[in-house]
Amino acid sequence: MKSSASTVVEMPRHVGLIMDGNRRWARAAGLARVSEGHRAGADHLEDVLGWLTERGIQHVSVYVLSADNIRKRDADEVAYLFRLIESVVPVQARQWSDWQLHIAGDLALLPESCATALRDAVEVTRNRRSHLTLAIGYDPKEAVRDAVRGLLAEGVDVEDDALVAAISDRLPGGPIKDIDLVVRTSGEHRISGFFPWQSQHAEIVFSDKMWPSFAEKDLDAALAEYTRRRRAAAS
Point out the residues that are catalytic.
Answer: 20, 69
Q: What is the C-alpha separation between 207 and 188, in angstroms, rounded?
A: 8
DSSP string covering 155-169: T----HHHHHHHHHH
* C-alpha closest to that of 38 among 19, 15, 52: 19
Containing 145, the helix (H) or strand (E) segment is helix 140-154
**Count of C-beta atoms within a 10 Å radius of residue 129:** 9
Q: What is the C-alpha separation between 180 and 200, in angstroms, rounded?
A: 9
Spatial neighbors of 216 by CB under 8 A, at least 6 apart, are: 47, 51
**Residues 48, 95, 134, 221: what is their CA dihedral angle, to the nearest 10 degrees?**
-10
